[in-house]
Amino acid sequence: MLATALVYALAFVVRAFRWSKLIEPLKKIPAFKLFSYLILGFFMNSLLPLRLGEFIRAHVAGQKTGLPRSGMLATVLVERLFDGLSYVTLFLVVIQFLPFPELAKKSMLAASVIFIGAMIFLFFFVAHRDKAEIFFRKIPIPVKFRDRAHKIFVNFLDGLTIFSHKSGLIRVFALSLVVWTIEGTAFFVLGTAFNLNLNILQCVLVMIVIGTGSIIPTAPGYVGTVEFLGVTSLTFLGIDKNLAFGYIITLHFLQLATISILGIHAMIKEKLTLSELVRIHK
């Protein structure tokens, strides 16, 4: 269990490094400085619904680094799209070796269209930035909000600058695959504690099913969603339902506990209180 928590924590270290590469076109910020802001976002996601932690993360990071908050939010959006693209890639690998639940397969294929379509849209959005700004100016916005809205839009476009750097995109995609491979390894490590006799590909399958089902924001910490999808995918692999539930609820507890410990440490380090973070989303 301790090894599972440590492996899971390692994934956040790689996430922070990946985020630094996404921000690099705007400003070079060491990954260790971004780690706290990243963890705060995930920590608040476990406490608030609808992934509001992403907005809190962008706000805190923008405030601490001096970068526009809308630009930081754009980097978080791109990060999430790369996570989705990584899921698609791992899905295409896994289905070559393992049968996939039909419902999960249809859900993943639908998600694939969304992720790839969004990536293509943002790529052309950045490539034709001038036209995007002209289009935005034609949107009927009250005069007193127009300049502010345009500034936010421009800063958001700046946050998508990574799409102008092909080598940067490749690095971010590679790091995304590393992140989810590490998370899949955490599933595998805990699986050995429960004697599930699952190989790494089967653990990745379970991770993909849970991750795909969690795309739509649900309850704080995805409580209930993780358990249902995890047990469903494990029983599909022939694991006893009761054993599967024990495994999944332990895994989810370790994930939330790791995020909470790191999140509380980040709050202390950044001299922030929980009430201040909650106020941000309001």
The answer to whether residue 215 scores a pLDDT higher than 70 is: no
Average pLDDT, the chain: 91
Can you tell me the mean pLDDT for 4-9?
98
Query: Based on the structure, what is the number of domains in the chain?
Result: 1
- Which pTM value belongs to this model? 0.93
What CA dihedral angle connects 30, 187, 51 and 217, to 10 degrees?
A: 150
Residue type for position 40: L
Taking 70 as the threshold, does the pLDDT of residue 217 lie above it? no
pLDDT of residue 221: 74
In tens, the pLDDT along 118-175 reads 888 888 888 888 888 888 888 888 888 888 898 999 999 999 999 888 899 999 999 9
Task: Determine which of 29-43, 128-142, 170-184, 256-270 has the lowest per-residue pLDDT on average.
Answer: 128-142
Taking only the tens place, the pLDDT of each residue in 83-95 is 989 988 998 899 8
The CA distance from 79 to 170, in Å, is 13
Residue 30: domain span: 2-281
Q: Which helix (H) or strand (E) holds 151?
A: helix 143-158
Q: How confident is the model at residue 282 (pLDDT cuts 50, 70, 90)?
A: low
Give which of 41, 21, 40, 39 is closest to 31, Cα–Cα: 21
pLDDT at 241 over 80: yes
Answer yes or no: is pLDDT of 192 > 90. yes
